Amino acid sequence: MADTVDLIFFGAHPDDVELSAGGTVAKSVKDGLRVGIVDLTRGEMGTRGTPQIRKREAAAAAKALGASFRMQLDFQDGNLQTGREQELQIIEILRTYRPKLVIAPWPDDRHPDHTRTGNIVTEASFYAGLRALETGLEAHRPQTVLYYMQNYMLAPSFVVDVSKTWKTKMKSVYAYKSQFHDPKSKEPATFISDPKFLAMIDARGRHFGALINVEYGEAFITKQPPRIDDMIAAYSGREI
Ligand SMILES: [Zn+2]
């Protein structure tokens, strides 16, 4: 039987998890948790690089973050498929690795693949707990699904302090060498290869950090509010 993990981060494309939640992956690993990353596609529609290069880059990024595993499914980049067949593949992963929490993209984003990923992961997380749905693996339902933001900004439900793992996150982002700014690259320019894109990622991390009075933060949205055991600790180091 495969080793279980505490958290599984799902993304539509390789680099989605790194850009929005990589600091939280690295922090969780640093805190002793076991973390898996699952990309629903191989990012084969990317303008730069090739699927082989992106696969190598994704493996290097997962290694930089300390993930226990990274898995790439084949739901089709640019037209992400979400039928029962795809749902069952996610259910199989959840029942095998039995995460306590699942993290997915907020299911409303400019990129339809992100929206579809948020929806199918949420729905599969529920269905994975149905005992009557027999797949040969014991039913398992995570405690909840947490969401990260991508293009659309929403009010965060909470922010994770990732100041200590921001450098590791950026190392994982830079592992996608074919995608980001490289003055020597002869490949066509894209939205994310523009130097302004990485400056935006830094600014966003600093902005979310400022909301909780730390250097860098990553924001999450929940449909179910978190229980706070220590209200004072949750606001420590701050002044209104
Ligand atoms: Zn994406």
Reference 40, options 11, 3, 1; nearest CA is: 11
Within the chain, residue ranges assigned H as helices are 16-30, 51-65, 84-97, 112-127, 166-174, 195-211, 231-234
- CA–centroid distance, 97 to ligand 1, in Å, is 24
Q: State yes or no: pLDDT of 76 exceeds 90.
A: yes
- CA–centroid distance, 133 to ligand 1, in Å, is 30
- CA–centroid distance, 169 to ligand 1, in Å, is 16
- CA–centroid distance, 92 to ligand 1, in Å, is 23
- Over pLDDT 90: what percentage of the chain? 83
Q: How confident is the model at residue 186 (pLDDT cuts 50, 70, 90)?
A: confident
- Over pLDDT 70: what percentage of the chain? 100
The pTM assigned to this predicted structure is 0.95
The answer to whether 105 and 150 are in contact (CB under 8 A) is: yes
Running DSSP on this structure, what letter comes out for residue 32? Answer: T
Average pLDDT over residues 107-118: 98
The model's pLDDT over 10-52, given as tens digits with 9 standing for 90+, comes to 999 999 999 999 999 999 999 999 999 999 999 988 888 888 8
Which residues face 95 on adjacent strands? none
Residues 6+ apart with CB under 8 A from 34: 3, 4, 5, 6, 7, 68
Rounded distance between C-alpha atoms, residue 156 and residue 148, angstroms: 9
The answer to whether 76 and 117 are in contact (CB under 8 A) is: no
- Looking only at the bridges linking them, the beta strands covering 7-11 and 35-39 are parallel
Q: How confident is the model at residue 192 (pLDDT cuts 50, 70, 90)?
A: confident
Residues 6+ apart with CB under 8 A from 86: 40, 73, 75, 120
- CA–centroid distance, 13 to ligand 1, in Å, is 5
Which residues face 38 on adjacent strands? 10, 71
From 53-57, 186-190, 220-224, the region with the lowest mean pLDDT: 186-190
Q: What is the pLDDT of residue 73?
A: 97
Rounded distance between C-alpha atoms, residue 6 and residue 103, angstroms: 11
- CA–centroid distance, 109 to ligand 1, in Å, is 10
Reference 206, options 195, 219, 217; nearest CA is: 217
Q: State yes or no: pLDDT of 202 exceeds 70.
A: yes
Q: How confident is the model at residue 181 (pLDDT cuts 50, 70, 90)?
A: confident
Reference 46, options 81, 14, 85, 88; nearest CA is: 14
Q: How confident is the model at residue 191 (pLDDT cuts 50, 70, 90)?
A: confident
Tokens in use for 90? Answer: 């996610």
Q: What is the pLDDT of residue 1?
A: 61
The per-residue pLDDT of the chain, averaged, comes to 95
From 73-87, 131-145, 176-190, the region with the lowest mean pLDDT: 176-190
Q: How confident is the model at residue 188 (pLDDT cuts 50, 70, 90)?
A: confident
Burial class (CB in 10 A: 0-12, 13-18, 19+), 56: middle
Angle at 70 between CA 64 and CA 71, to 5 degrees: 155
Average pLDDT over residues 205-233: 96
- CA–centroid distance, 58 to ligand 1, in Å, is 13
